[in-house]
Amino acid sequence: MEHIDCDTPNGNAPRSRGERSARFIMASLRRLPLRRATVLGALCLAAWGIAAHPPMQTVARGETGLRTNQWTGGIDRFREGPVLVIPGIHAMRTFPLRDQLYRPDKSAGTVFTFQSVEGLDLGVDFAVRYAFDINRLTTTARALPDDIANEIVLPATQDVLHKTLSRYTVREIFSARRQEIQDEIARELQSRLDEDGVKLKSLALGKIALPPDYLAGMEKMLAAELASEQMKYTLELKEKEVRESELRAEADKARREKEAQAAAQEQIIAAQAQAEAMKHILPFKEKQIRQRELEADAAKATRIRQAQAEAEARRIEAEAEADSRKKLAEAEAYRLEQVGKANSEQMAREGAILARSPLLIQKTLAEKLSDKVQVIIAPPGANGRFIGENLVGKLPAGRENAGNAAAGGGYARGDETGEEG
């Protein structure tokens, strides 16, 4: 590879990388043939054109782009996104789709003064909100300047304000007919902006700066008018208070009359109601008295019948009790009689049996004492007599010997039994 020296003839090195690149290219071109140098120069020029003016441009969000063919004059509208723009053939221009707001720059000291019908200077602050007519943009874009706000909106607004405000007085502009004047300016300005394809969205008049002398006179006049209005309203208020007092008095009078009439009517109605009630109360009272008399007679008859019934019941109870006692006495007498007869007959039978068998006395005594006494040890009877003589009494004379013999034998058997036990 051939080395190319890019140093200057005096041997000084270039001071920057760009200078070294340029000198390298120039040195290379000197050593190339003319045709190759021409083609290479054209290619470099095309590369520089593409780098300086890229063929692709972008339409941002909220904007629309108009691409004009400089050879044919045709215009194409594009929405947001990339657009092919060939240098030397196409020219690209973007317009905002959103509403634009124009307001005089206060920081720069820009003040627009207008004259009223009296010839007084007024400082008016205003704001214009506008937008482009998208449907007419392709036909009006060629005539639109770059600074639309200062070259179209501002002159049209000033012209309309001058023309309109010069027909009204300061007082009408300041307060009396301000809204009407603002609407008139908006209508006139809309027609002016429509010619350039611009839509007026709204117009707002802000602060209105009055001349100092006029402002002082207006303040005095307003103070006087306020005092007059205050006096007017004070008088009207007093009249209304007087009228209110009269109406209150009339209302109180009417209320008292109504209350008196209502009270009288109430008393009349109460008296009529009481008289009407007495017509029904007196028969009712008579019926109550008659009912109480009948209730007293019925209670008397009831008590008499109750007393008679109680007396009859007591008599019947006494008779029944007497009969019952009599029957009980007769039954008891009959029982005693029968018991006596039975006892007499039983004693007679027992006497006959004892007479026939005296030993039954000992047997009976042993049976009676058998469950309580197991062994009886008793001394013999006196003089050899029966040991139970003291219990059963003395035997008859004819039976004494037989009883002693039987007693002796019994005792003997008893002893034997005891010995066996």
The predicted structure's pLDDT at residue 279: 82
Does residue 366 sit within a domain?
Answer: yes
Does residue 232 sit within a domain?
Answer: no
From 147, 177, 210, the end of a domain falls on: 210
Lowest mean pLDDT among 142-146, 210-214, 265-269, 288-292: 210-214
**Structure tokens given for 108:** 């720069």
Q: What percent of the chain has pLDDT over 70?
A: 71
Residues 6 or more apart from 87 whose CB is under 8 A from it?
49, 50, 53, 55
The predicted structure's pLDDT at residue 359: 74
| Structural domain count, the chain | 3
Phi, psi of 95 (to 5 degrees): -130, 140
Q: Which element (helix H / strand E) includes 336?
A: helix 212-356
Please indicate whether residue 117 or residue 420 has the higher confidence score (pLDDT): 117
Same domain, 198 and 104: yes
Same domain, 191 and 115: yes
Long-range contacts of 159-165 (CB under 8 A, 24+ apart): 159/192, 160/185, 160/188, 160/189, 160/192, 161/112, 161/114, 161/124, 161/126, 161/185, 162/114, 162/115, 163/188, 164/188, 165/114, 165/115, 165/116, 165/122, 165/124
**Contact 96/62 with Cβ under 8 angstroms?**
yes
pLDDT at 390 over 70: no
The predicted structure's pLDDT at residue 304: 92
User: Tokens 């943009």 identify what position?
Assistant: 137
Same domain, 193 and 120: yes
Residue-range definition of the domain harbouring residue 170: 99-210
Does residue 286 sit within a domain?
Answer: no
Same domain, 199 and 136: yes
Same domain, 135 and 197: yes
The predicted structure's pLDDT at residue 2: 37
Same domain, 42 and 116: no
- The CATH number of residue 114's host domain is 3.30.479.30
**Contact 23/6 with Cβ under 8 angstroms?**
yes
**pTM for the whole thing?**
0.40
From 52, 67, 82, the end of a domain falls on: 52
Does residue 226 sit within a domain?
Answer: no
CB neighbourhood size of 209 (10 A): 13
pLDDT at 421 over 80: no
Does residue 245 sit within a domain?
Answer: no
Cα 57 to the chain's mean position, in Å? Answer: 61
Same domain, 46 and 115: no
pLDDT digits (tens, 9 = 90+) for 157-189: 888 888 888 888 877 877 778 888 888 888 898
Residues 6 or more apart from 167 whose CB is under 8 A from it?
117
pLDDT digits (tens, 9 = 90+) for 18-28: 566 667 666 66
pLDDT at 386 over 80: no
Same domain, 124 and 187: yes
Residues paired with residue 204 on neighbouring β-strands, in sequence order: 127
Cα(226)–Cα(229) distance, integer angstroms: 5
**Contact 77/66 with Cβ under 8 angstroms?**
yes
The predicted structure's pLDDT at residue 145: 81
CA distances from 161 to 191, 236, 401 (A): 14, 41, 187
pLDDT digits (tens, 9 = 90+) for 406-418: 444 443 334 433 3
Q: In whole numbers, what is the pLDDT of the chain averaged over residues?
A: 75
Q: What is the mean pLDDT of residues 305-334?
A: 90
Residues 6 or more apart from 111 whose CB is under 8 A from it?
104, 123, 209
Same domain, 104 and 197: yes
Burial class (CB in 10 A: 0-12, 13-18, 19+), 8: exposed
Same domain, 199 and 103: yes
Cα(114)–Cα(174) distance, integer angstroms: 13
From 167, 192, 210, the end of a domain falls on: 210
CA distances from 55 to 12, 78, 337 (A): 40, 15, 165
Does residue 200 sit within a domain?
Answer: yes
pLDDT digits (tens, 9 = 90+) for 92-135: 777 888 888 888 876 655 667 777 787 777 788 888 888 888 78
Phi, psi of 65 (to 5 degrees): -115, 140
The predicted structure's pLDDT at residue 396: 52
Same domain, 204 and 110: yes
The predicted structure's pLDDT at residue 352: 84
Does residue 415 sit within a domain?
Answer: yes
**Contact 395/358 with Cβ under 8 angstroms?**
yes
Same domain, 104 and 177: yes
Does residue 277 sit within a domain?
Answer: no
The predicted structure's pLDDT at residue 109: 57
384 Rama class: left (phi>0) / alpha (psi -120 to 50) / beta: left
The predicted structure's pLDDT at residue 214: 73
Q: Which element (helix H / strand E) includes 236?
A: helix 212-356
